A and B are shown apart, each in its own frame.
Chain A
Amino acid sequence: MKTEGQIEPVMDLNGSPIDRSSLSCHAPIWQDILAQAVTGEQLAAMNYTSLSEICDDPAEVADALEHAEGERGHAASFAAEGRKIGVDVDNNVDARHWRRLREAFLGCIAERDFIGCLIVQEIMLESFAVASYARVAKVAPGSLGETFARIAEEEEQHVDHAMAILRAERALDPERFDDKVYRLHLDVMTTLAKMLAKECKDGHCEVCHASCVKPSLVDVSLSAAELRGASLEQYLKALDMLGLPGEVTLQWVTQLPI
């Protein structure tokens, strides 16, 4: 409670509204949200590093390594936000769902399938990242929200870049391309759908530091249903931009596990 004579700052140095009470009392929730984000970014960095190993063109190798570095920078930014609110942000790329996503990507690497790698990372995983970061950015206070917003924007630029490559590839043989997307969808999006389900039915995700964070998301004006909805919307829009038939991709999405 404010007492006479005290002047309480209402803005931080960056001009963002401060909601200290929200940050402190909800720190364990932000800790888990940040842990998922850091894990995702670390996994993306590993994926781009792996991708650099199958590129023939030195420019492509450099590009992939630059992307990997960028993702590591994102992970560091999220971890720094955790420190600001007094929590350690762990990551666990070996957690059950994240490990499965990494294995799907490595499957494409094993086949030296550059296009498959882009589909997994840029269309599927980035759709999830862009949409969920953007939703978190809307409710997270101060610099935490700004960091999520900035990284969502940067990830979206990745998608734009990959889109041109993938559209060109689809133009060569749409049927073959769509078959490949569907095969990867069954693997990757099924895993993501389980991650994004309203309840973790297969047990602990191995990223949350204690019990599952999903039921507590409502305390920070989020919900698992909203994050899933926004991610699937972003994914459908990405597939639309690639030129896949909307009626087909709608069927794919409605058949995902809940």
Chain B
Amino acid sequence: MGYAVANLARREPAIEVDFALIGHQESWRAAADVLAVLRGGELTALPDDEIKDILPWIPPRTVCHVDIESMAGGNARGLYIDCFIPPDRLEAAYVHENLARVRAAASCAIKSGAKIVSLGGFSSILIEGNFDQLPEKRNTVFTTGNTLTVGFIVQGIKKMCALEERNLRNATLLIIGATGDVGSGCARCLAPVVKRVLLNARNIERLRRLATELEAEGVEVELSTDLQRFPTQADIVICAASLGRPSLLLNRIAPHALVCDAGYPKNLSPNAGLFGATVFFGGLGQIAGGLRFTPDFFGILNRHPFPNVVHGCLLEGMALALEGRFEPFSKGRGFITPKRVAEIETIAARHGIHLAPFANADGPLERQSEYQTQSSRGWVRPRGGSESALVTSVREG
């Protein structure tokens, strides 16, 4: 039909997008909550079986707009793009399907004109060694966000040790998922300040390469692909493995151990049986200046007992956007160094992005400080530069 196919050159007014965040939900509960917000409160919530039927068919797309404010005075606008990877398809068997979803989400980000894109959760894991598989980028750059994730994991370990009066210098550190970008970054940052490092991962060749690198710096290193070999020896454990579901068991872990679960999805099984060990979620930061989702996904996209807490990988893109540094800060696998971590931490801190208060699956491990308790939903303004105060470290058991 020859109906006026004209005027295609006319464009819509463009909304400037500083950053895009690519992510996915780590559980069916989280996915259900996202769909419930979209469906609205007036309609009956979708039953679980319908959610499991519908979600796999949703093409990757923008879910909401994200506005952030810097403590230095600026602000940035962004988008959250969900890959809609079904939470039970995060396993290796679905890698090609999931990679296609991440690529489609990346295309959405590029089409939106986002200047920088942070890759969250599995999207980062899938892409970190395959940046060449991203679509043609025009003026959009991608960062895995792993450097700031490492920064917050390391900060968390150091802070928790200080609060519990543990001597990091005498500690034996176990890193599970040590050869990944995050795991190896943590190894480089923490190896110089602990007594001994135990490395665990599935790929023996990569383990050997990392061990050689650390040993060259004078670090005492042991490696194993057998996870059950190390837990009894470890004082501190970082869980940074790429697991499709929380399935990690740390049998015979020392009761005094400090365990940082930095996975997304979480690594530790709910039945991990970590009797006596202190467990906290790592790699998380908090935006003091403010974070707003439109529509309102507060507490849905950032499921954490404290407000404005987001994974470091996503915060890296936001921090760089606030800084006006649109560059692929974290790219590839195995390039995270203490120097780069310090650099991104400085940028983040300048804009009021700091280590999040501690929490684990049972809830907060810290008391909320004044500005957090008095905050309005989703748009928090601090009353002075306050620091969260640790009131207790919860011993599980």
By a beta-carbon cutoff of 8 Å, the part of chain A in contact with chain B is 55, 57, 59-60, 63-64, 114-115, 161-162, 164-165, 167-169, 171-172, 174, 198, 225, 228-230, 232-233, 236-237, 240, 243, 245-247, 249-251, 253-255, 258
Q: Are B1 and A161 in contact (CB under 8 A)?
A: yes
Which chain B residues have a beta carbon within 8 Å of chain A's beta carbons? Answer: 1-12, 35, 38-40, 43, 46-47, 50, 53-54, 56-59, 61-65, 79, 108, 295
B3 to chain A, nearest CB (A): 5
Q: Kindly list chain B residues whose C-beta atoms are within 8 Å of the C-beta of A240.
A: 59, 61
Nearest residue in B to A172 (C-beta to C-beta)?
B7
Q: Identify the interface centre among B10, B46, B64, B108: most chain A CB within 10 Å of its CB.
A: B10
Q: Take A165-B1, A258-B46 as given contacts and tell me if A171 and B57 are in contact as well, using a CB distance cutoff of 8 Å.
A: no
Assembled-state Cα–Cα distance A237/B104 (Å): 11
Pick from A172, A232, A233, A258: contact of B10, CB below 8 A.
A172
Q: Chain A residues near B43 (CB, 8 Å)?
A: 255
Task: Name the distance in Å between A200's Cβ and chain B's nearest Cβ.
Answer: 15
Main secondary structure of the interface of A (DSSP, over half): helix
Contacts of B11 in A (CB 8 A): 171
A245 to B294, CA, bound (A): 14
* Contact (Cβ within 8 A) A236 B58: yes
A250→B58 contact, CB < 8 A: yes
User: A250 and B39: CB pair below 8 A?
Assistant: no
B86 CB, nearest partner CB in chain A, Å:
11
Bound CA span A230–B39, Å: 20
Extra contacts, 5 of them, besides A63-B2, A225-B53 (Cβ < 8 A), are: A60-B2, A171-B9, A249-B61, A250-B63, A258-B50
Query: What is the minimal beta-carbon distance from A254 to any residue of chain B, in angstroms?
Result: 4
- Tell whether, in the assembled complex, residue B56 and residue A229 are in contact, meaning their CB atoms are under 8 Å apart: yes
Residue contact A171 to B10, C-beta cutoff 8 Å: yes
Contact of A165 with B5 in the complex, beta carbons under 8 Å: yes
CA distance A64 to B2 in the complex (A): 11
In the assembled complex, the CB of A181 is this many whole angstroms from the nearest CB of chain B, namely 15
A164 touches B7 (CB 8 A): no
Across the interface, name the chain B residue whose C-beta is closest to A231.
Answer: B57
User: Shortest distance in angstroms between A236's beta carbon and chain B's nearest beta carbon?
Assistant: 6
Residues of B within 8 A of A254 (CB): 35, 38-39, 46, 54
- A105 to B: closest C-beta gap in Å: 16
The distance in angstroms between the C-alpha atoms of A237 and B43, with both chains bound, is 24
**Does A230 lie within 8 Å of B57, measured CB to CB?**
yes
